[in-house]
Every structure is written in structure tokens, then in C-alpha cells.
């Protein structure tokens, strides 16, 4: 790798870690950067899981230190998510995910529209609709499998689920989301390691950026709370929708 490529990959990791710690969606930056660096798609996905896992791990640690996450509240979701994320990662190697590529942008657009039209989105707790146990099993199985199988928008789906079904406010929902995202990342990463789909030299460069970005992003969430997260959440979701729709359009052109 040339010094220029190393620098750009470091900056991509830093930017992705910053965005991921706040609202998810860092893969919008890191995966294209890895493909630009010349990695084959499967190698890019595996390397991305490796580098993103470290940034998410740091963000989770900071959220737990700030008292935004309690292990007793998330441990069942962690267990279920891990199993189903591994299953999803295995299944994606066997079947096509073309249908999901067409559906997901519109689901994300609906989430963004809902958040945009509700100024108080996530700033106050709402009525809890599911018990923590039912939520953990349902969310862990469906979203854990989805993250392992396809991935884009998983953080947004988890955040909205925490808000609307578990009754958390946005800051705590973001912290919960990071814990289960870390879980599905680790599960998928294990599959990619066993399949030898990781460029460790590139991962190390991006991990350095990820750790800095995750520290900065999680610090802003802790200090500024729900209003700040809402703004970044909307920007990231709209950017993700545009990226996925653009990929569909260019693929069909």
C-alpha cells in the first residue's frame, strides 16, 4: 500500500467510527473505501467487519461507563443476536440477497420520514409495547439474522425498535443498539475469519482510525443527548437510502 492509500483508509476508518458511534451507517464510508483500495467484495466485507468491530467495542465501553447500558437488560438480546447473526452470515454464502437490496431502501425511507415528521422523536420515553424478554428474542432473531445476511440499516432498525417497542429514549436506544450491533459484528467476523476473508494489514490501519472516531462520536452522544443524535440519525439514514437506490439504478443501467 502507498502512503496515500494508507492515509485515506485511516481517514475512512475514523469517519466511519464517528458516524457508527452516533447513528450507525459507517459502512457507507468504509466498505466503498475498501473496494476502492482494490479488495474483492467478500474480502472487503470481512475486513470491514474486523475494523468496525473495534470501533463499536470502544463505543459500547463508553456507553456502559456512562450508565446508558445495563448488562442485565441486554444479555438475552446479545445471546439471540449472536446465534442468528452467525446463521445469517452462513446463509448469505448460499443464497442471493437481491430481493433485500430492493426492499431495504424503502424501509429506511419510511423510518427517516417518521423521524423527520416527529420533532420529539426519541427525546421522551414512550409506552413500552413488548417485555424486554420478548423484545430480545424477536429483535435478536430478526435483526441479528438480517445483519449477518445483508446488513445496511441494521442500526437504524434497532434504534427505532428500541424507541417504539421497548420505550427507550433516543440516547439509551443508541447505546442498546451499539451493544447488539457489536454482537452481530463479532458473530459475522467469526465466520469471515474461518473463511479467510480478511486483509489484516488493511484492517489494522482502519482500526486505528475507528478507535479515534468512535471515541469522539460516543463522547458527543453522551454530552449532547437525543437532539444531536436525531440530527445525525436523519442525515445517515437519508444518505444510506440515496446510496442504496443509486446502487440499484446503476446496476440496472
- pLDDT tens-digit profile of 132-168? 999 999 999 999 998 888 776 788 889 889 988 998 8
Question: 237-252 burial by CB neighbour count: b if 16+ within 10 A, else e?
Answer: bbbbbebbeeeeeeee
Lowest pLDDT segment from 68-72, 96-100, 174-178? 96-100
| pLDDT the model gives residue 97 | 58
CA distances from 175 to 4, 14, 192, 231, 242 (A): 34, 19, 26, 16, 26
54 neighbors 43 (Cβ within 8 angstroms)? no
* Model pLDDT for residues 10-37, shown as the tens digit of each residue: 999 999 889 888 877 787 788 888 888 8
Size of the chain in residues: 253
Q: Into how many domains does the chain fold? A: 1
Average pLDDT for residues 67-77, to the nearest whole number? 91
Average pLDDT for residues 196-218, to the nearest whole number? 93
Average pLDDT for residues 114-132, to the nearest whole number? 72
Using alpha carbons, select from 70, 67, 51, 161 the residue that is nearest to residue 111: 161
| pLDDT the model gives residue 115 | 66
Question: Looking at the predicted structure, is the pLDDT value of residue 230 above 80?
Answer: no
Range of the domain at 74: 3-252
Amino acid at each position: 500500500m502507498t502512503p496515500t492509500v494508507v492515509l485515506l483508509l485511516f481517514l475512512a476508518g475514523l469517519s466511519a467510527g464517528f458516524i457508527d458511534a452516533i447513528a450507525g451507517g459507517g459502512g457507507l464510508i468504509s466498505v466503498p473505501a475498501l473496494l476502492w483500495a482494490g479488495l474483492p467484495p467478500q474480502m472487503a466485507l470481512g475486513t470491514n467487519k474486523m475494523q468496525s468491530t473495534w470501533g463499536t467495542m470502544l463505543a459500547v465501553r463508553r456507553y456502559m461507563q456512562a450508565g446508558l447500558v445495563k448488562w442485565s437488560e441486554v444479555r438475552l438480546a446479545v445471546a439471540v443476536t449472536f446465534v442468528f447473526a452467525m446463521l445469517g452470515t452462513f446463509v448469505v454464502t448460499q443464497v442471493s440477497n437481491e430481493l433485500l437490496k430492493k426492499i431495504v431502501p424503502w424501509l429506511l425511507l419510511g423510518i427517516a420520514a417518521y423521524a423527520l415528521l416527529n420533532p420529539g422523536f426519541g427525546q421522551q420515553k414512550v409506552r413500552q409495547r413488548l417485555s424486554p424478554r420478548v423484545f430480545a428474542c424477536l429483535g435478536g432473531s430478526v435483526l441479528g439474522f438480517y445483519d449477518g445476511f445483508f446488513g445496511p440499516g441494521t442500526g437504524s432498525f434497532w434504534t427505532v425498535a428500541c424507541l417504539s417497542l421497548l420505550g427507550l429514549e433516543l440516547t439509551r436506544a443508541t447505546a442498546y443498539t451499539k451493544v447488539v450491533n457489536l454482537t452481530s459484528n463479532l458473530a459475522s467476523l467469526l465466520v469471515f475469519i474461518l473463511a479467510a476473508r480478511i486483509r489484516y494489514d488493511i484492517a489494522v490501519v482502519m482500526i486505528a482510525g475507528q478507535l479515534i472516531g468512535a471515541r469522539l462520536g460516543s463522547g458527543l452522544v453522551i454530552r449532547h443527548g437525543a437532539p444531536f443524535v436525531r440530527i445525525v440519525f436523519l442525515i445517515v439514514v437519508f444518505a444510506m437510502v440515496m446510496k442504496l437506490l443509486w446502487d440499484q439504478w446503476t446496476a440496472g443501467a
